[in-house]
C-alpha cells in the first residue's frame, strides 16, 4: 500500500496540474457517483491527509480518493480536442481500470485502480478523514499528540504505528525501518515516552527525506535491494550484524500486517514468529520469505 510520502508526492503532482484550472469534463466510474456533475468547477487545491487524497473544488465539493493496495493517479496532457483517442478502435479511450477521469484544458488526471472514491461537501471532509491522527508529514505535525496516542493504544508499537488513528501516513516500510534503526522490538508495548518520541521522530525524518525521490530509501542508497535495512529483506543478512532478517505478522486477528525485523538487533524473536528458517523474499513460490498481503 502506498505510504504517506508517496501520497504526498501524488498530491503535489495533481495540485501542480489541476489547481487553478476548470474541469472541462469529469467522469467518475464509481457506484453512486457516475451521475455527478463536476464540469465547470475549478480545482482550488489538492492536499494529502495521511494516505488520503483530497481534491477540493470551488463549488464546495471535495473528491476524495484512497489508493489502497494498487491505486495510482496518472497525469497526461489533454489533446487539443479534449479527447483521448484509441486510434486502433477509432473511439475515445481511457483504461478499463480508470475510476476517475478529470479533464482540464491543459492536463488530464486519471485515477487508476483506486481503492476508494467519494464525493462530499468540503465542509464534511471530517466524515472521511476525521478519525485520523496527526499527519506525520504535515508541517504543523503535533508530535506530542501522536506520542500520546501511541502510549494510550495499549498494543505493540509496530501495530500502533500502523494504526492511522494514532498518527497518519506510516505504513509497513517506514514502521519496519524506523523501529529497526531505533533498536526497538516491534512487538514491545508500554514503551517510555522518550523512546516513542525517538521512533516517531525517526519516521518523520526518513519520510521527509524521501519526499523528493520516486524510490523510497532509508539507507541513502536507491538501488533496488539496497534501499532498506530490513523491509522486504527477509532471509537476507542484516546490514548491522550479518544475521538473518525475518518477517512476521503483527496486529489483531483478521487485521494483521507485515513486519520485517532483526531479532538480534531488536530484542528477540516475535511472538508470532515460529523461528523456522526463512528463505530470501521471492526465492520460491512456496518459501516462507514471501510477504503476506498487506491490509489497511
In this predicted structure, the answer to whether residue 286 has a pLDDT above a threshold of 50 is no
pLDDT of res. 90? 40
Taking residues 25-30, report their average pLDDT.
97
Pairing of strands 25-28, 98-103: antiparallel
Q: Who wins on pLDDT, 102 or 290?
A: 102
- Burial bucket for residue 131 (CB in 10 Å: 0-12, 13-18, 19+): exposed
Residues annotated as part of the active site: 2-3, 51, 257
Given pLDDT bands bounded at 50, 70 and 90, which one contains residue 159?
very high
- Give the class (CATH, top level) of 143-261: mainly alpha
Q: What is the pLDDT of residues 55-92, one digit of tens each?
A: 999 999 999 999 999 999 999 999 987 565 543 444 45
Percent of the chain beyond pLDDT 70?
91
Residue carrying C-alpha cell 483530497: 54
Asked: is 4-129 a CATH 3.30.930.10 domain? The reply is: no
Buried b (16+ CB within 10 A) or exposed e, 83-106: ebeeeeeeeeebeeebbbbbbbee
- C-alpha gyration radius of the chain: 21
pLDDT of res. 291? 42
In this predicted structure, the answer to whether residue 287 has a pLDDT above a threshold of 80 is no
d(CA 143, CA 193): 11
Range of lowest pLDDT (80-84, 182-186, 260-264): 80-84
Domain ranges of the chain: 4-129, 143-261
d(CA 291, CA 245): 13
Going by C-alpha positions, the residue among 76, 23, 14 that lies closest to residue 45 is 14
pLDDT of res. 81? 72
Check for a shared fold between 4-129 and 143-261.
no
Q: How many residues does the chain have?
A: 296
Relative orientation angle of helices 193-210 and 143-152, to the nearest 10 degrees:
130
d(CA 22, CA 58): 9
Mean of the per-residue pLDDT values of the chain: 91
Global pTM reads: 0.89
In this predicted structure, the answer to whether residue 214 has a pLDDT above a threshold of 50 is yes
Amino acid at each position: 500500500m502506498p505510504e504517506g510520502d508517496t501520497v504526498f508526492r501524488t498530491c503535489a503532482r495533481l495540485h501542480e496540474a489541476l489547481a487553478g484550472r476548470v474541469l472541462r469534463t469529469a467522469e467518475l466510474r464509481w457506484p453512486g457517483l457516475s451521475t455527478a456533475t463536476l464540469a465547470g468547477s475549478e480545482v482550488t487545491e489538492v492536499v494529502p491527509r495521511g494516505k488520503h487524497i483530497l481534491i477540493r473544488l470551488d463549488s464546495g465539493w471535495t473528491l476524495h480518493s484512497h489508493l489502497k493496495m494498487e491505486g495510482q493517479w496518472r497525469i497526461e496532457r489533454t489533446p487539443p480536442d479534449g479527447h483521448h483517442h484509441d486510434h486502433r478502435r477509432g473511439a475515445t479511450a481511457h483504461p478499463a481500470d480508470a475510476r476517475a477521469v478529470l479533464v482540464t484544458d491543459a492536463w488530464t488526471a486519471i485515477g487508476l485502480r483506486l481503492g476508494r472514491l467519494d464525493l462530499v461537501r468540503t465542509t464534511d471532509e471530517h466524515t472521511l478523514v476525521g478519525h485520523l491522527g496527526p499527519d506525520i508529514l504535515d508541517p504543523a505535525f503535533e508530535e506530542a499528540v501522536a506520542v500520546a496516542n501511541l502510549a494510550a493504544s495499549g498494543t505493540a508499537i509496530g501495530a500502533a504505528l500502523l494504526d492511522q488513528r494514532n498518527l497518519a501516513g506510516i505504513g509497513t516500510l517506514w514502521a519496519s525501518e524506523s523501529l529497526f534503526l531505533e533498536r526497538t522490538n516491534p512487538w514491545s508495548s508500554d514503551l517510555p515516552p522518550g523512546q516513542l518520541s525517538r521512533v516517531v521522530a525517526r519516521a518523520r525524518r526518513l519520510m521527509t527525506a524521501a519526499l523528493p525521490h520516486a524510490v523510497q530509501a532509508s539507507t541513502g542508497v536507491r538501488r533496488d535491494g539496497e534501499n532498506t535495512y530490513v523491509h522486504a529483506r527477509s532471509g537476507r543478512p542484516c546490514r548491522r550484524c550479518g544475521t538473518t532478517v525475518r518477517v512476521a505478522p503483527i496486529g489483531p486477528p483478521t487485521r494483521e500486517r507485515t513486519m520485517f525485523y532483526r531479532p538480534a538487533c531488536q530484542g528477540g524473536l516475535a511472538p508470532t514468529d515460529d523461528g523456522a528458517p526463512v528463505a530470501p523474499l521471492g526465492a520460491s513460490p512456496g518459501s516462507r520469505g514471501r510477504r503476506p498481503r498487506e491490509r489497511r
